[in-house]
Amino acid sequence: MRADFEFEIPYPDAEVIYEAMMPECVTPPSERSSVTLVNDDSGLKLTIVADDLVSLRASINTWLRLIRIAEEITGLLECEI
């Protein structure tokens, strides 16, 4: 069974989040799923393709958590400046 997930995240500073996430795209944590992250005018587009639902759920949780952490760090850095 193949499972897909597509998610669009509108960010004004998507480039910063995109650059922070790209190393994770190069070496995915699992061979059972693949991730594509695209930065365009509307923000980030995250696409996850997995071999099964369990792998899809784990990948969704991981990637949304990573993006949220990057967003929080970006916000903290902006407050410091």
Can you give the CATH number for the domain in which 60 is found? 3.30.310.50
Please give the pLDDT value at position 81. 56
Please give the pLDDT value at position 78. 66
| pTM for the model | 0.81
Please give the pLDDT value at position 70. 86
Which range marks the domain in which residue 64 is found? 3-80
Please give the pLDDT value at position 77. 67
Number of Cβ within 10 Å of residue 78's Cβ equals 10
Residue 23, amino acid: P
Number of domains comprising the chain: 1
What b/e string do you get for 39-71 counting C-beta neighbours within 10 Å, with b at 16 or more? beeebbbbebbbeeeebbebbbebbeeebeebb
Task: Give, for all 81 residues of the chain, the pLDDT tens digit.
Answer: 898 999 898 887 788 889 888 888 887 767 889 999 999 888 899 999 999 999 999 999 999 999 889 888 877 666 655
